[in-house]
A = this chain, B = another copy of it.
């Protein structure tokens, strides 16, 4: 498993009139988490795009256990539990202090950044990932 932990401060912009984080915002936190996981591998997502690949989300799911609040310093845990094939799955857990607020996952497909059509994942990326398992 490859894992990253990122701390992320909740903005007022992320809250809604219920006084809690608006549910769609967690998917941006997931993105912050996966950026962090890839950056920690020395293979940031921007490098993938420079090499002609993109990783759009083709499926996502999220369960909300407890509401997050303004100004909390959330911990975003991102996990790649399996070596990707044509698809890549990431799991996420978001904590405030040690309380789990939400958990979810995203599934991504490797596509050409120009055509958005599916393509084989880059060799060097796959070798790097495999070396971590």
Residues of A within 8 A of B (CB): 9, 11-13, 15-20, 22-25, 27-28, 31-32, 35, 44-46, 54, 56-65, 67, 70-71, 113, 116
Contact = CB atoms under 8 A, between A and B. Distances in A.
Nearest to A65: B58
13 contacts: A11-B31, A12-B17, A13-B22, A13-B28, A15-B16, A17-B17, A17-B18, A18-B116, A23-B27, A24-B24, A24-B27, A56-B67, A58-B64
Given A35-B9, A63-B58, A46 B22 contact: no
A11 B25 CA distance: 12
A59 B63 contact: yes
Interface majority SS (helix, strand, loop, mixed), chain A: mixed
Q: How many of these chains are in the complex?
A: 4
B23 A44 contact: no
Contacts of A22: 12-13
Contacts of A31: 11-13, 24
B63 A62 contact: no
B54 A64 contact: no
